[in-house]
Amino acid sequence: MVLTASGCAAPVDPTSNLPADLVNACHTRVVITFAQSSGERPADDFVMEISREANVALVFVRVAGPGLYVFQLDADDTDESCSQALARLRRDERVRSVDLDQRRHVQD
């Protein structure tokens, strides 16, 4: 299930031997640029289609600059670095780039 309005935790299989926090360990903020800039904010249905294809949840956070959009990314991957979810997003032709939203520091 993919939601664009709010994040949600996936139900945990009671027969699973994995702790609940490892079942849905991928939680991070990402900066996405789309192949075709959609203006101030990408349409919810557009984001939902991309989310569905990549099997992730994307929640819009803010515009970071011209054509740069920050999203909260959640996936049912056990990969805390979210590398699998990022790879799935990067394979989508509508996505130009996806990067982790990390603090940038001026180098001396």
What pLDDT, in 10s, does the model give residues 46-96?
999 999 999 999 999 999 989 999 999 999 998 889 999 999 999 999 999
Residues in the chain: 108
DSSP H or E segment with residue 69: strand 68-75
CATH class belonging to 23-100: alpha beta
Please say whether the beta carbons of 92 and 54 come within 8 A: yes
> What is the distance between the alpha carbons of residues 108 and 96, in angstroms, rounded to a whole number?
30
Of the spans 1-15, 21-35, 73-87, which averages the highest pLDDT?
73-87
Asked whether the predicted pLDDT for residue 16 surpasses 70, the reply is no
The DSSP letter of residue 12 is: P
